[in-house]
Amino acid sequence: MAKNAPARAQSAAVSDPTSRYPKPPFPRQFQPFPGLASRMEPRPDHGEKTYVGSERLLGRRALITGGDSGMGKAAAIAFAREGADVAINYLPDEEEDAREAIALMQETGRKAIALPGDLRDEAVCARIVEEAVRQLGGLDILVNNAGRQQQRDSLLDLSSEDFDATMKTNVYAMFWLTRAALKHMPPGSTIIQTTSVQAYDPSADLVDYAMTKAAMLSFTKSMAKQLGPKGIRVNGVAPGPVWTPLQVSGGATQEKVESFGEHTPLGRPGQPAELASIYVQLAASDASFATGQIYGAAGGSGQP
C-alpha cells in the first residue's frame, strides 16, 4: 500500500452532507462592498485544510479573477495543489484575503501571482492578462469568476451607476479578459465562467445581477461553439446559495443572511470548498469532451 493511502482513505470517508458544514441561523452581519471572507462569521471554508491534490493540473498556468475569496479562492488553492501555477486578480480592498490565498498557494511550491485591479476598466483587464502571461510564462486556464451583487428591493432603487457597475464587473470584464487571453491560449486550453442559478431562476431583488449571470451562460455556450474547432473548451459553473462575502456586503438583506441556504434540500448553504473539484475537473485535460456545459451546484435546488 502506498505511503499516503491511509490519509486518502480517511479523506474519502463517507460524511453526511446535511451536517458537514454550518447551518442557519447565522449572525446578522454587514460589511462594505466587496467584503472580506476573513471577517465573516462563520468563516467560509475554501478547502484550506482539506483539499488534497493529485497532480491533475501539473504544469498548467491559470488566471483566476476574484481569487481572494469564494469560489475563486477555492479554485486557486485547488489548482495550485493540483500542480498549476496560478495568478489571482482581486480588488485592492480585498488585499487581506488575497494575501492569505497567495500564502496557501506558495506552500505548494508553485508560482502564486497577485494581480490587484478593478476589472471595470478595459485597460486594467488587458494589463492583468499580459502580466499573468509574463509572470506565469503563458496561459492555458482562464476562470472568469469575479462578481458584483447588490440587492435592491425595487427597480426604482436601482441607479444607473449601480447597473453600470454590475454590468462592467460581471459582463464587460469577462468579455475584455477573454478577448485578451485568447491571443495567448493554445489548443487544449480551457475557459471557465462562474455563472449562477440566478441565470435560470432569478430573485426579485437581484435583477441586474441575474441579467449578468444569464449573459455569462449565453457567452459560455456561444464561445464553446466558436472555440471548439480551435481546441479550446469553454464551460460554466452555476452555484446556488454559497457562503461568500457577496452575501454580507450588500448582496442580501440581513434577514436573508440570517436564514441563508435554509430552503435547500440540504438545509444549509454551500461552502466554496465544495465546488473546488468542479473547477478542477473542467480545467483538467481528461475532461476533453466537456465544452459548452453548465455545471450546477445548488444543494439540490435550482437549475441546471
Question: What pLDDT does residue 301 have?
Answer: 84
Report d(CA 178, CA 158) in Å as an integer: 28
| In the predicted structure, residue 302 carries a pLDDT above the cut 80 | no
| In the predicted structure, residue 1 carries a pLDDT above the cut 50 | no
The mean pLDDT value for 36-44 works out to 98
Distant-in-sequence, close-in-space partners of 128: CB < 8 Å, separation ≥ 6? 63, 65, 87, 89, 115, 117, 119, 177
Cα 100 versus chain centre, distance: 16
Name the percent of the chain lying above pLDDT 90: 94
Question: What pLDDT does residue 9 have?
Answer: 39
SS3 (DSSP) at 289: coil
How would residue 13 be classed by pLDDT, with cut points 50, 70 and 90? confident
The mean pLDDT value for 267-285 works out to 98
> Environment class of residue 251 by beta-carbon count within 10 Å: exposed (0-12), middle (13-18) or buried (19+)?
buried
Per-residue pLDDT tens over the stretch 71-94 = 999 999 999 999 999 999 999 999
**Which CA distances in Å does 236 have to 17, 60, 154, 176?**
23, 19, 29, 17
Question: What pLDDT does residue 12 have?
Answer: 65
Architecture per CATH, domain 53-296, reads as: 3-Layer(aba) Sandwich (3.40)
| In the predicted structure, residue 7 carries a pLDDT above the cut 70 | no
Per-residue pLDDT tens over the stretch 130-188 = 999 999 999 999 999 999 999 999 999 999 999 999 999 999 999 999 999 999 999 99
State yes or no: is 21 an active-site residue: no
Question: What pLDDT does residue 2 have?
Answer: 34
| Selected residue with higher pLDDT from 60 and 7 | 60
SS3 (DSSP) at 133: helix
Report d(CA 244, CA 283) in Å as an integer: 22
Compute the Cα dihedral for 149, 152, 155, 161 and give only its sign. negative
- Which helix (H) or strand (E) segment holds residue 239: the answer is strand 233-239
How would residue 11 be classed by pLDDT, with cut points 50, 70 and 90? low
Where are the domains positioned within the chain?
53-296
Q: Are 236 and 192 in contact (CB under 8 A)?
A: yes
Name residue, grid cell 479523506. Answer: 11
Q: Are 270 and 99 in contact (CB under 8 A)?
A: no
Distant-in-sequence, close-in-space partners of 262: CB < 8 Å, separation ≥ 6? 23, 24, 25, 268
**Which CA distances in Å does 240 have to 171, 184, 202, 269, 282?**
19, 32, 11, 8, 18
Average pLDDT, the chain: 95
The active-site residue out of 51, 90, 200, 209 is: 209
